[in-house]
Structure 1
């Protein structure tokens, strides 16, 4: 996760990309740092489902999706993901 205003980045290790795993992790992060007003994500099925809709409705979060097939629409997060992957690769070599 990346705060687009401050560029503060939060990395968490996930066992999988299932919706319940992501929601559980988000709830932990929100518990540590507070609830955001807006969450922007890609159009992955892990974000477009009833569980995620219920989470955003319950917490009053405005969930926005980046444009399909245009990763630059979520450029800040995409760049940080790339950098994190590069660092992890170097560390495990």
Structure 2
């Protein structure tokens, strides 16, 4: 079932609860260039985001070796800092207006918004 999604993202799947999804979490594998689009809520907490990634991605692909983020507060939280230390994941933050750092993800987001 699909519902209207704000921010020009076309249609987002509706959730089973009272709240419909209103955003997508985008992950791009830098080796294969395969994107993963996870419907989510813009106001999800760092814990909800961690559970989403663990249940939908890590359980399928295995633990990441490196994450490049756009300094989203979910990734700068103490929870993510601890997860990176426990699992040995290298966390890098991209700088604004520097597409070489996370250009793959930014391009996938643009493609999603254009649809």
Q: What TM bracket, shorter-length normalisation?
A: 0.7 to 0.9
The structure carrying a bigger helix percent of its residues is 1
Larger relative contact order (CA 8 Å, sep ≥ 6): 1
Q: Give how far 1:18 is off.
A: 2.4
CA-to-partner distance for each residue in 1:25-63, whole Å, 9 max, x for gaps?
Answer: 111210111111111111111110101111111221111
Aligned to 2:28: 2
1:52 matches 2:76? no
Moved over 3 A (4+): none
- Which residue of 1 is the match for residue 97 of structure 2? 70
Q: For the residues of structure 1 that align with 2:35 and 2:66, how far apart are their CA atoms?
A: 15
Match of 1:41 in 2: 69
Matched pairs, number: 86
Check if 1:86 corresponds to 2:114. yes
Flag structure 1 segments of 5+ consecutive residues without an equivalent: 88-93
**Cα distance, 1:86 vs. partner?**
2.1
- RMSD between superposed Cα atoms in Å: 1.4
Where does the alignment leave 5 or more consecutive residues of structure 2 unmatched? Answer: 1-26
Which one is further off, 35-44 or 12-21? 12-21
Larger C-alpha radius of gyration, 1 or 2?
A: 2
